[in-house]
Structure 1
């Protein structure tokens, strides 16, 4: 990716699932294959995602299926999940969907002065890349700056990790004054509040607009279909006027 590195002073982090794409069917199949590979048993119940990282979902999935987690279970499971998902990547565009307006929103935000976009997701990095590439949504994303599910941190900490990576790359401190998280769950809102970012919440997932507002989102949009609204929200939340670093 060729970003105007010397001028970068806005960081926009996108949640992936139910914000940009919905590939739940393929994800479940990949989890089932990884579970069988690691435990030798069929998957009966998959723990709900609810905005949580893959690492947390793995531990709960093992527990609800009666498996006592061992020290090597998580790395083995995540490795198997990456392989199983990659094997199914050609199914993503056929059996999944891009969320309404996602491509235009990413493109429109990319035109803002000084912006770099990455992802903050509970999905492991390789799978996040596959999900976005399947729908042509990777063009404006710098994946190296993101926070991912295999890093085994709470999402708020992952946000700060991403800010640190961006600071190391561009030399600019990233705080609530110039960082925006765009996501669909109350967990995303909580991560922004704790981690230090402004929050644009999209009511396209399992959290309602009212729940997102109550959680403390700065802006709530019904979906991404109006790219101008998304850009206006990001621009307003990262303007130097009346914005204070947190």
Structure 2
């Protein structure tokens, strides 16, 4: 008899599961020019951040006086730019070592539901995951994505609530784990009282992730057995 769902694993997308940095920059450049009529010279840092932070900082870096109207227009343009780059995600994006194997192995954990938690646009996340073949193992309908209103910590809580409604259960804070690669993600999980498995697959070291307060830190997702054991441990206590 299947074990009822009781634990929730949320995977960060960019720099944790996959790398599509080239496509991201191209999409931002197209959206920037469409919104401002000028070429983008500099893209703001993206790691660990919400889309609105990246958009407003990119506008500022390029000498654009920002307003609230910019966000809605930029989001629409960015969604369109990603939608025309599906082939480039397949050509230039890549699944990070061990990511597909880790997600696949975690599906065997008793009572598990897997989704994503990202500061990116939902449309962009779905395109990246779909084109690189990771979406089949994840329930993206209960994921947490960019919101102009809610920070990442709140998005984790909202994902937990959405998953609870869909699966007819309660996912305890202690049975929710975020797998991510940046101290800002660790902080968001702490706000939501979720557990954190941090991986040094982005621009941050293992030491920095430990200092940020992650419950467990691994260099990559390449050791499937260790990833699975860690996820099991973090969501069983």
Give TM-score scaled by structure 1 length.
0.92
Residue 6 (structure 2) aligned to one of 1, 9, 33: 9
Question: Mean alpha-carbon deviation: is it higher for 164-173 or for 131-140?
Answer: 164-173
CA distance in 1, matches of 2:36, 2:166: 40
CA distance in 2, matches of 1:41, 1:169: 44
| Equivalent residue number for residue 125 of structure 2 | 128
Map 1:67-216 onto structure 2 (within 5 A): 67-216=64-213
Distance 1:125 1:29, change over 3 A: same
Partner-residue secondary structure (3-state), 2:68: coil
What is the deviation of 1:72?
1.8
Structure 1 regions of 5+ residues with no counterpart? none
Partner-residue secondary structure (3-state), 1:80: helix
Is residue 78–residue 150 contact of structure 1 (8 Å, CA) maintained in 2? no
What is the deviation of 1:151?
4.5
What is the deviation of 1:33?
0.3
| Equivalent residue number for residue 45 of structure 1 | 42
Aligned residues: 236
Residue 30 (structure 1) aligned to one of 27, 30, 51: 27
Give TM-score scaled by structure 2 length.
0.96
Question: Mean alpha-carbon deviation: is it higher for 71-80 or for 170-179?
Answer: 170-179
Partner-residue secondary structure (3-state), 1:81: helix
What is the deviation of 1:200?
0.4
Structure 2 regions of 5+ residues with no counterpart? none
Q: CA RMSD in A?
A: 1.3
CA distance in 1, matches of 2:57, 2:13: 21
